[in-house]
Amino acid sequence: MRRRVFQVPDGAPLVGSIAFGLIDRGTNLIQVRPSSYCPMSCIFCSTDAGPKSRWRQAEYLVDLEPLIDSFKDIVRFKGEHRIEAHIDTVGDPFTYPRIVDLVQALSEVKGVNVISVQTHGPLLNEHLLDELSEAGLSRINLSIDALDPELARKLAGNEWYDVERVMELARYIVENTRIDLLIAPVWVPTINDSEMPKIIRFAIEIGAGKRWPPLGIQKYEAHRRGRRPPKVRAMRWREFYAQLRRWEREFGVKQILRRSDFGIHKRPALPIEHQVGEKLWVRVIGPGWLKGEVIAVERRRPRRIITVVGVNPEEVPPETIMRVEIIRNKHNIYLARPTP
């Protein structure tokens, strides 16, 4: 399905949305989301990304300069030391046309000592990896969910994904760049169980993880508006960790990761600007990420993006002024619904 790409307007706040901008969860890690699109359509995707998305109605692009300015403000607030900029996005970060410039600009921000990125790698190539290394990228969390090419395509939800090429690039990262590599498969029970030991062996064989652990197996979770493979049940955390422990013993490689393995620690969180239950007037500025949503800002003092749910975007076009009630504000990500 074709979706509209929405260029986030200059001057809009860049905190408040899950789909773009910056997210602060009260640690020294700041999530950086410059774009939302993904070319893949993984069958387990928690964010329902890619061409086969059923729930998304818009994709976002954020200009580099305002993104960096807002990022610097947050770093100053949190303390200009040991900050990790984690480019994770609700799609693939390499869809951002200025990804190398972004890494370069983040690396020049006072206090940033780690820049990491999360991807399945479909848009990587050797030249881009060289440029990212040069620009100061510290780590790639690369999700390889199966080494078997056919199964990998099935998991990717398309016919063109070439896991052997991604494996070649994984080797390239280790052998030819200064970027650290963490292999981060998503374990989807009953679908890729037998691939996990193979992926662990592969990560060990190529020498992933010099500065950080080589592996970070991720647990599949069923999300309401994510994609859910039929008949797959999410594992219990207890079962998941028990199996990771067995693999730790079998392969002699750390599998159970803690925030401290990545130097992540608590830091002051940005102030919450709107409380749950608060009613306010907002100005619509664009389409919401998902169907039935628009994004808006407080009419007089736009400090955060507010996603208004339960609306027909055609009935509330940009510049509409409407009254809403905040229904969620966790981590400064705001949801609201129309109210009289």
Return residues touching ligand SF4 (CB under 6 A).
38, 40-42, 45, 47, 49-50, 91-92, 120
Residue closer to ligand SF4, measured from CB, 145 or 298: 145
Nearest distance from residue 227's CB to ligand SF4, in Å? 8
Q: Residue 251: in which H helix or E strand, if any?
A: helix 237-251
Residue closer to ligand SF4, measured from CB, 91 or 209: 91
Per DSSP, the three-state class of 103 is: helix
Residue closer to ligand SF4, measured from CB, 21 or 50: 50
Residue closer to ligand SF4, measured from CB, 142 or 308: 142
Query: Cβ(123)–Cβ(92) under 8 Å?
Result: yes
Nearest distance from residue 86's CB to ligand SF4, in Å? 15
In angstroms, the CA 76 to CA 15 distance is 15
Strand 29-33, strand 21-24: pairing: antiparallel
DSSP class of residue 166 equals H
Nearest distance from residue 309's CB to ligand SF4, in Å? 22
The phi, psi pair for 290, rounded to 5°, reads: -105, 160
Query: Cβ(119)–Cβ(141) under 8 Å?
Result: yes
In angstroms, the CA 61 to CA 68 distance is 14
In angstroms, the CA 212 to CA 278 distance is 43
Inter-CA distances, 162 with 146, 169, 191, 259, Å: 11, 11, 18, 31
Nearest distance from residue 94's CB to ligand SF4, in Å? 10
Nearest distance from residue 248's CB to ligand SF4, in Å? 25
Nearest distance from residue 122's CB to ligand SF4, in Å? 7
Residue closer to ligand SF4, measured from CB, 185 or 313: 185
Residue closer to ligand SF4, measured from CB, 121 or 313: 121
